Amino acid sequence: MKRAAIYLRVSTSDQHPETQLYDLRELAAQRGFEIAGEYRDQISGTKARRPGLDQMMTDARRGRFDIVLVWSFDRLARSTLHFLQVLDELNHLRIKFVSRREQVDTGGPMSRAFVVIVGAIAELERSLIVERVRAGMRRAKLEGRAIGLPALLLDRDAILQDRRRGQSLGQIARAHRISRTTVRRVLCEKRTPSSPVPKSFEQPAA
């Protein structure tokens, strides 16, 4: 039975790798692969350092698996050059690379050529998206429109009342659809009222 490594990457803390993981486990089961390891990173695609990918490549050199499964090309590397470097090393180690979305693997020369082409297209697509976002932000700035997320509206009194009723931070966070950090900040604000004005600074009576 072939041993497969699964590599997952999501870009921000708002995303979850469970969808990728489910699909890749299903793919491994369909092809009769034994899952030898699962590696994941939660980091932007342009960042150079990826602990999960680094560990996977270390285990690849130790011969711990025969195949690498990813959800798509752009999950693996930060650029076409990096993608080709990873692919070249896997090929040197006689480890196949399989991408679910593109439905290709590196089992033959045509597949490897296709991987190179699609990798370049994926990088171009990312660059165009970044440029469109920057252009939109520049236009919004010139038009005087606010950039970014709207300010978070909090019902501080309701949060404090829920806390007095004995609700946990997690319960309050879920009820108000905010993070636990925000709940803690509201509670700390209540516990640290502004200091009274020293008498030496008080205005004299009229």
Give the catalytic positions in this structure. Answer: 11
First to last CA, the chain: 93
What backbone torsions phi and psi does residue 157 show, to the nearest 5 degrees? -60, -40
- Report the C-alpha gap between 198 and 21 in whole angstroms: 60
